Structures are given as C-alpha cells and as structure tokens.
Structure 1
Amino acid sequence: MSKTKHERVALRLAIILQYLIEGRRLKIDDLAEEFQISKRTIQKDLNERLAFLEWKENSNGYYSIDLSQLGILTKTDIQRFARFASVQELFPNIDRSFYQENLLQSVQVKGFQYENIKPYEHNFKTIQQAIEQQRKIQFFYTKANEKMGKTYQLEPYSLINKNGIWYVIGLDNNKEKTFCFTQIKTLLVKNDRFETNPTFLQKIQNSDSISHGNQISEVIIKVSAKATPYFQRRNLLPNQEILKKLDDGSLLLQCKQINEMEILPLVQYWIPHLTVISPEGLQGKLVERLKEYLTHLS
C-alpha cells in the first residue's frame, strides 16, 4: 500500500528533524536531491511546515537551529513532532510557543483526515491551557444518541485527534473518560488543580485507543495467510502486536486495551480474512450484527 501524502511529508520531516538535532547544517539543494523533490517543496518544509522553529541566521543558504529549543527528543518524539508539522491545518491559529512548549505533551494526532475546529478555537486553547496548568474543567455534554446531557467535571490530560475527530481524555473522579471535543458546551476552567497520574498519562501516549474507561484488556485476532503481508508491513489494527506466525502462513495478532467498537468494524472490513479468537463471544457478536444487516436487506 502506498503512503498517503501526509505520511510521506511526516517521514521527510522526521528525517530533517533528526538531521537538525544531530547539529547538521541543511542546504535546500542537498535536501531536494536526497528526497527527489523540488526545491520549492523543501522551502515549504522549512519555511512553512517547520516555521515554528527558530532558525539561526542562514549563511550561504544553510539552515540550522539552536538545539536547546528542542531539548532531548526520543525517536518517538521526533516522529510525533514531524506528524504535527505535516498537519498544521488541523489546528486553529496557535502561536509558535504552543508548538515549542506543548507539542509533545498535551496534544496528539493519531490519523491524518480531520474535522474543521476553527469555530471552537477558544475552547481548544482553553482546554490546552488547563492541561498545561493541571486545572480541572467543567462542561455540559450530551452523549451521542442521547437526548439529555449533563454537567461533568474533568481532570484533562490530553487532546487527541483520532481519524480526524478531536477528543478530550481525562479522569472523572478517578474514572478514565473520553469526550468528543466539539460536543463540549459551556466550558469553564476551575481553580481546582490536580496531580497528574503518570501511569495514565503514559497509557494515553502509548496507546492507539481513545476509548479510555471502556476497554477490553486483550483481543486476539487470527489473520488469513492471504492477508498476512498487509499486517506484517504495518499496524492496521489499534495497539497491534504480532504474537505468532502459524505454519499455514496465517498470523495471530494481539490488541491490548481496546474498545470493541475500535476493533469490530475493522475485522468486519477485512472479512473473510480476520477472525476474533478471544475474548469469547466477541466473534459471535460480530456474526450477529452481520445477520441483522442481511435480515434488514432482505
């Protein structure tokens, strides 16, 4: 499967960022030749996509940065940093300090298609600042398919974009909760502060799931030999890990801490090549949904 445009840009920016933290001076001509793209595209990378970096004064067309502004970045940090730079249109107008200080902390992007949140710019900034300052937020929220909403108080941990939709992840009386950002109304920041739970924060950062508080600890999936190459090439399921390749060429995959609605639609998409092995009853639930669908059609 070919990479999307955003994936190609993110990969290129990750390499450029790696060069920068190694202390290299970059030249547009050299980068254009390395990546086999036009000089104009490289100029866009440096002057627009990476505009939030404070470039040192260029001499003879070279670009470099003050390494102190990036701090110590891991490989994962660089990849996330680059993904952000490749999808800046996801965000409302946010100044350079947002990227420099908070890019790797309170906001994450998981997926490249996106909803327009410009009308919600104020709430976005308010929640992001509450996360920074470790302050509780209060808001009115109506769940999907429900007529009556209610007021919540939340310790906000992260703003996450998953498959184009923004979510707010946090703790409500120590219970893990996920809220759709655009459904949050009458937002207020409380004076009450909270202590960040590092275990929960790490769980958010390391997981592909956004359904915190309503997850299955482990799902085992069998992949047919015909579909195996696709799942070996890249992770197509959330929190995917390969457990074993079987003698017939099929795979056993493990997905940890995932909501059933994040896994069943994907299994359904790959019918007949994927089968849920455990937990018991999950495959049966999928079969029943398919039966209901066929009954409805008939």
Structure 2
Amino acid sequence: MNKLYIALNLIKLLNENRYVTSSIVAEEFEVSIRTAQRYLNEMTYLPGVCYDEENHRWYLTDKYGLQDSYLKSNELAILSGIFDYAESLLQSDYSDMLKKIKKKIITASNKENIVSFLKADTVDFDKIAPIFTELENSILNRQEIQFKYSKNDEIYRVRPYRLIYSDGFWYLVGAKEKDEIRKFGLDLISDIQPTGRTYDEVPKGIEEEIQGAKSIFFDPHKKIMVECLMQSDLAGFLKRKKFFPYQEIIEEKENGDIIFSFQAGSPLECVKLCLDWIPHIKIISPHVVRDYFVDMLDSAKELNK
C-alpha cells in the first residue's frame, strides 16, 4: 500500500470514529499492531491529528473534520503566501509557530514559492502578545472590559468587537456607551479588567462596516460622501478594483479622467485615502474635505521648504 492511500484512509477512519487505536488500524488494513503503530505515528505531523498518551489512541482535535474537497495547487500557493505574510507580522516565536503550521498543511510540495504578499514594517508582536491574548478571550466571551490607555492616560470601558491590523499596527475596535465606536492601539493598552458585564453580539451595521473598511479611520455612524476627479494616468486602477469605501464611478471623460465618489467616516479618513493618489487626484466636494486636504498639503509644503 502506498503512503497516500494509507494517509487518506487513516484520516477517513479518524473523521468517522473521532479516535482510533493501533488495534483498529491493524484490523482495518490487515497488518500487524507494530505496523499499524508506525502508520499512526507518521500521521501525527498532519494538522488536527493528536495522540492521547494516557489512553494510547489517536484523535482529531475538536471542531476539526475532513471536508469533501482538497486544496488545489493554486489554492496551496495562495495559502503559502498568506502564511509568509503572517509570519512577517507576528515575528519571533509566533513566526516559528506559523512555519510549523504551514509545514503541516503544505507538506508534500517541493515547489518554489509562487505567491508573495508585500510586507510592511510592523509593531513588535512580542510586546503586544499578552494584550492580544487577553483581548481575544474577551471578544470570544463577549465580555465588557476596562483598561488604561497611555495615549491620553485615561481609563476606558468598552465592549470589544474586533482586533484589526492596519498599516503596521494592531488595533482594538470596540464600542463605548450608546454604541460610540472607538479604536485603540494595542501597544498603548494596559491593565485590562473585565467589568462583569457581557454583550449579545456585534451590531449588524458595525459588523458590516468593519468588513468593508479601507482604513482604521472608518466610522459606521458618520458618513461623508466625497466626489473626486482622478486623472487618466491612474484612472485605470479604479476601473479594475475598488480602492475607496463604497467607491462608484460617476463619469468617464473623453480625455480618460474619471469622476468618482466614495464614502468615509471623517475628513481625516477622506484625506488619508486620497494622499496615495497625489498628484493625480482632485477633491471636488464637499468643500470641508477639500479645504482640509489643501491645508494639509500646504502645511507639508511649508514644513519641507
């Protein structure tokens, strides 16, 4: 019997029985107990396969099951790229852990890396790992918490909703009283304490806003409709994908320029979204956002004289 046949049938046994022993495997494959043990020992490198030393049996971890499909080569390539990117974010021991997980999932391939995601410098994950774990548990248990925030030396009481990575930093997105959404840098949070109160779920509107956010400056309760002109040099990018939240193309001009609109939660978010497109973007309306954009550019120009 080849190894692939053995591996697939062992996983099938585990998936159907939740746990197996060497006796069960020996009977199933009509081999000796010693051979069955060797088969099972070789299986422990696979994700989700564990060995119970006390009861001498192998099992699949909770909430793990075999699906009726297998990863294709292009799916493995994407997954490999995602793992590499995640390693650059988590760093140190956490990066090593990801490498081990990647090796377990993408085991039989000797192919070169095909997919890569451009990496950015990130806050040292080792410094925020304990806070990350505490917040993760609070979110999973839907516990309201309070903590000290060193940015303004205040104590905040929030319902934690989501941990978000943006531009090299990790943030907690949570709600204060009356569902006021706030974002907090994890590296500035300390002394997390549960308040003893819980919450039901993330409000649907906030959940949708988090999923569709293009920057950490989003605000589900405030929306500014912005109309812009993108010069032909870069207009093609907007036709290919949406770079702005709720982006809609309004008009395509004969010279290739595009008039488009998007929505954002604050003038600051609007401006940050537009900065990457300088000098090919013009804010048409509203004037509040346009003036804020111009003032910021003037300040930068003055500073760099």
TM range (shorter): 0.5 to 0.7
**CA distance in structure 2 between the aligned counterparts of 1:130 and 1:52, rounded to whole angstroms:** 30
The verdict on how the C-alpha distance between 1:157 and 1:84 changes in structure 2, with shifts beyond 3 A counting, is farther
Match of 1:257 among 264, 285, 295: 264
Match of 2:198 in 1: 193
Cα distance in 1 for residues equivalent to 2:146 and 2:265? 27
Of the candidates 132, 157, 162, which is equivalent to residue 166 of structure 2? 162
Q: Deviations over 1:169-198 (max 9, x none)?
A: 111002111111111111123321012222
Alignment-mate amino acid for residue 229 of structure 1: G
Q: Is the 8 A contact 1:169 1:212 kept in 2?
A: no
Aligned to 1:34: none
List alignment gaps of at least 5 residues for structure 2. 1-44, 50-64, 71-77, 102-116
Question: Is residue 184 from structure 1 mapped to residue 182 from structure 2 by the alignment?
Answer: no
- Tell me the residue number matched to 1:66: 66
Query: Displacement of 1:273 after TM fit?
Result: 1.0
| Alpha-carbon contact 1:112-1:164 (below 8 Å) kept | no
Match of 2:146 among 128, 134, 138: 138
Match of 2:217 in 1: 211
Quick one: structure 1 residues 111 and 193, their matched pair in 2 at CA, closer, same or farther if it must change by over 3 Å?
Answer: farther
- 8 Å Cα contact 1:215-1:260 kept in structure 2: no
Among 122, 127, 148, the alignment partner of 2:130 is 122
Amino-acid identity (%) = 20
Tell me the CA shift for residue 266 of structure 1.
Answer: 4.5
- Aligned partner of 2:112 in structure 1 is none
Matches within 5 A, 1:205-244: 205-213=211-219, 215-244=222-251
- TM-superposed CA distance for 1:139, in Å, is 0.6
Question: CA offsets, 1:44-91, max 9 Å, x none?
Answer: xxxxxxx99548xxxxxxxxx712899xxxxxxxxx988854433224
| Counterpart amino acid of residue 141 in structure 1 | Y
1:233-279 deviation per Cα after TM superposition (whole angstroms, max 9, x unaligned): 34444553433323332112222234333332453443331011122
1:88 aligns with 2:83: no
Counterparts in 2 of 1:142 and 1:268: CA distance versus 1, 3 Å: same
Query: Structure 1 residues 179 and 281 mapped into 2: Cα distance closer, same or farther (>3 Å)?
Result: same
Q: Residues 203 and 296 of structure 1: is their aligned pair in 2 closer, same or farther, counting only changes over 3 Å? A: closer
The Cα offsets for residues 207-227 of structure 1, whole Å up to 9 and x where unpaired, read as 223224485432222101122
Contact 1:161 1:167 in 2 (8 A): yes
Answer whether contact 2:127 2:187 (CA < 8 A) is retained. Answer: no
* Conserved 8 A contact 2:264-2:270: no
Q: Which amino acid aligns with 2:274?
A: V
Alpha-carbon contact 2:160-2:174 (below 8 Å) kept: yes
Q: Equivalent residue of 1:208, what SS? A: coil
In the alignment, the residues of structure 1 paired with residue 46 and residue 83 of structure 2 have an alpha-carbon distance, to the nearest angstrom, of: 9
1:153 alignment counterpart: 157
1:277 partner letter: I
Aligned partners of 2:69 and 2:230: how far apart in 1?
Answer: 45
Q: TM-score, normalised to structure 2's length?
A: 0.60
The CA distance in 1 between the partners of 2:273 and 2:183, in whole Å, is 21
State the Cα distance separating 1:294 from its structure 2 match: 3.1
Give the conservation status (yes or no) of the 8 Å contact 1:224–1:274. yes
Amino acid of the residue matched to residue 182 of structure 1?
Answer: D
Cα distance change of structure 1 residues 192 and 202 upon mapping to structure 2, 3 Å threshold: same
Alignment gaps of 5+ in structure 1 = 1-50, 56-64, 71-79, 100-109
Aligned residue number for residue 24 of structure 1: none
- Distance in 2 separating the partners of 1:191 and 1:292: 47
Counterpart of 1:25 in structure 2 is none
**Cα distance change on mapping 1:251 and 1:163 into 2, 3 Å:** same
3-state SS of 1:87 partner: helix
Greater alpha carbon shift after TM alignment, 155-164 vs 195-204:
195-204
Q: Give 1 or 2 for the bigger CA radius of gyration.
A: 2
Cα RMSD of the aligned pairs, angstroms, is: 3.6
